[in-house]
Amino acid sequence: MDTLTINSTTIKLTMGDIVAAKVDVLVNAANSELAGGGGVDGAIHKAGGPDIHVACHEIISKQGPVLPGKAVITAAGNLPAKCVIHAVGPIWYGGKHNEAETLASAYTESLKLATANNLESVAFPSLSTGAYHYPLNQASKIALKTVADYLKSNKTSLKEVRFVLYDTKTYEAYAKALAEIGS
């Protein structure tokens, strides 16, 4: 299953590079220092150019680190998107350190920011399942259930919540999780 519509918003699963997504806002899989890194973070900073890095640095200087489960929004530099939401997912420490709640919160906080900024389309990567080692089967269920629950209980400007998944294994885990939620 690759789409599910809740109220007037469609959750859509796609495969590819998030940097190429034509949406109002890209969600970055950031770290607490907004320091850049590999994976999604590296790709977004590389394509977006130094403006994003400068904006991240300003946020950290003002408010300190962005805690796991939180998110902040910046301009998108050279990217076609209007802005970038930098969401910090949990590092996987075995599952007994509030990883599930923290991962859900990273998605919810991102959806709140997109809604507060009146954005109509957002693209998420699979937060925390790369360098942060969150098990994919659990993370995909949490990601999609959190988005579905948010759409059921909140008014939002969002018409599309897209997941841009990088490889077949990740796409299939999300497709299975979406089918469970939609059934």
Q: Catalytic amino acids?
A: 41
Q: Which stretch binds ligand AR6 (CB under 6 A): 56-64, 71-79, 120-128, 174-182?
A: 120-128
Residues 6+ away with beta carbon under 8 Å from 153 = none
Q: Which stretch binds ligand AR6 (CB under 6 A): 24-32, 63-71, 78-86, 107-115?
A: 24-32
Instruction: Decide: is 163 part of the binding site for ligand AR6 (CB under 6 A).
Output: no
Strand 71-75 and strand 9-15: the pairing is unpaired
Name residues contacting ligand AR6, limited to 67-106 (CB under 6 A).
89
CB of 58 closer than 8 Å to CB of 86 = no
Q: Which residue has the tokens 């109509």?
A: 120
Q: Decide if 121 contacts 160 (C-beta within 8 A).
A: yes
Q: Is 40 in the site for ligand AR6 (CB under 6 A)?
A: yes
Polymer length of the chain: 183
Per-residue DSSP letter, 33: T
By CB under 6 A, residue 31 contacts ligand AR6? yes
CB nearer to ligand AR6: give 4 or 19.
19
Candidate list 3, 5, 38, 97; residue touching ligand AR6; CB under 6 A:
38
Contact 41, 89 (CB under 8 A): no
Nearer to ligand AR6, 94 or 183 (CB): 94
**Which amino acid is it at 69?**
G
By CB under 6 A, name the one of 74, 104, 125, 171 that touches ligand AR6: 125
Work out whether 123 is an interface residue with ligand AR6 (CB under 6 A): no
CB of 4 to ligand AR6, least distance (A): 20
Among 79, 151, 164, 173, binds ligand AR6 (CB under 6 A): 164
Amino acid type, 124 = F
User: Per-residue b/e over 13-31, b at no fewer than 16 CB within 10 Å?
Assistant: beeeebbebebbbbbbbbb
Residues that bind ligand AR6 (CB under 6 A): 17-19, 29-31, 37-41, 43, 89, 125-132, 164, 166, 170
